[in-house]
Structure 1
Amino acid sequence: MGAGHDAVAGELERRLAPHGVEVSVVDVLDLVPLRLGHALRRAYAGAIRSAPWLYAAIYRAFFVSRRPGPLRPPPPSPLTALIAARLQRRVRELPPDAVVSTFHVAAQAAGRLRRAGGLDAPSLVLVTDFAVHRMWLHPGNDRYLCPDKAAARAVTAATGRPATMCAPLVPPEFRRPGVRNGRDVRDLPEGRERLRKASGAGPDEPVVLISAGAWGVGRVVEAAGVLSASGRYRPVVLCGRNGHLRRRILGTGLAPALGWRDDVAELMAGAYALVDNAAGMTCREAFACGLPVISYRPIPGHGRDGALAMARGGLSVYAHSPAELVEALDRLEDGALRRTRAARVDALFSAESAERTVCAALG
């Protein structure tokens, strides 16, 4: 739905190219007839922006197991059957040696097709959520690649299929040697200078990035207000492609507001922390840069559950109130705390790479 799933697929394609692997990236929503897939995307975006309570209700009804206990795969759906039929046409036109899903609807369709005998190649699922919901799960898939060991255990228990942890698929510009092993990102003068110019911050003013994702959603105006009122941190809001949000924030005078940027890695390299609300690709990019992450007012459903999962794993902090947000930022002055959290994040990147697992499946 958002840009994160596309980014993961694109990065996997880039990494497989040196191995001589030809990749065809398919948007699963293009497989829905009459452009209804794009209507679903617009409806999802509208719910997240204007009626988050509606998406929360949909998430509880369809994405979360209704009975207590471990995760269970969802029942078959007409939409999945329709997409699987369209996917079968594609694999007949260009028979693959492996199929990799980076979106949960794709995982349902590929798993269904594999189990029904319409797909001869191995079907792998690259889970992009720290909190695995049941829409990712289908026992027809051959293997799951998960963001951490807890997610892998939950997937295997639910599907009976092998599931392992794999390193985040983050572009190389984010994973710099100078920010590994807990080095403080404030020690990177080039990134700090670039961010200072973009934000208008003073030379010693800590700059905190606030991410609204590619669509520019969530309660980021509130977050900017909290940081601005603290008098201790300079907020800068990354508004993605939401021009309306950018104009709104600039009109308040609370913080600089940036549109879609191609230099996010450089901005992160000079920031003090990231305030995030979706637990998605931006968090992984921050992890790669060594930038501490604080979740605040996450979007409902997978955003909230992902924020909770990251906090449980010691990868980030979940701030439930304005006071907790400022307190979490204040605690980052503790170098030992930063190093401890950075060590947990580094463990993510020491896991086996997704491209290596995919190449093994290709034989």
Structure 2
Amino acid sequence: MAQDGKRRRIGIIGFGHLGQYLTEMIEAEGQQYGFELAFVWNRNQRKMEGKVRKELQLEDLNKFVARCADLIVEVAHPQIIKEFGEEFLKHADCMVGSPTAFAEQEVDTKCREAARRYGHTLYIPSGALWGAEDIQKMANRGTLKALKVTMSKHPDSFMLRGELQELKERVKGQRAVLYDGPVRNLCPLAPNNVNTMAAAAMAGHNLGFEQVQGCLVADPSLLNFHIVDIEVTGPVNKSSGHEFRVKTSRKNPAPRGEVTGMATYSSFWSSVLTISFRSTPGHKTERGLHFLRVSIEWSLHIGNVSIHQSCTDTALLFRLLNSSLACQQMEMITRRYWKNALCQY
């Protein structure tokens, strides 16, 4: 791991739109936050030509150890975590952008055990899962009784397999529910599309992949947005007999055909920043599985309902840095987040 006075080294696995965005952000702004790129890997090496410095390109993922990464960020495909997740966690912290991999119990168990055994942290970014921390708190207390995530997108934004792909073709041109059932069964059929649902199953761990419900809706009218609706059911009040319920709806700008919504990019960048600052000297991070809070940018985007939480997160990030430079960074970042909030919504 990075020591005091040394930059934290980050490896990026996957060079699709999200991987490119994170790579560019680290190259452009990493120095001011005390971290740098260790490597970038992509299955198709030619995609990185002219975009990633040659010395940073990792040709063989089996040789990642030689690059001495402190944090490995996976934004490629769940198969990467199935094959390499345990090995990654023997040598570095790991932020998993494809948590559908953990729908396979063996993968989940091996990665958690590796994190504990080798003293590293397995991070799950909340991404598009609004309210992840509250869901996790309810699960910890055993008060989470039901959880359902409904994702509605244009059909072209779904990358499906098997029977779901066949169904999507049959209902082409009309709004249709493609799936409604346990998240565990859905993950292998839509591994690139339902990471939000997989994150929900991990946050709501008392229910897990078997009991957390997922619903996929193909809607041709959604040309500019992805919509994620989350329904949380809690305990019944003994005196009134009324049930606790929360429902949120997240409308994420996304061009037709895009798998990842625009707000998710900045959400992942916030997660990288959060991890990096939690790893600064003097701050103790709990090893094992760690679920990252909803991003600062997204909290600000949706308005007053979560301003207090986002300010708490900001304080957490910058309380760790005792310098005038840190104060300047906090002022600059807070201003940029508010600018994004005002311009985008």
Q: Same fold judged by TM-score > 0.5?
A: no
Relative to its length, the structure with more strand (as a share) is: 2
Relative to its length, the structure with more helix (as a share) is: 1
Q: TM-score, normalised by structure 1?
A: 0.30
Q: TM-score, normalised by structure 2?
A: 0.31
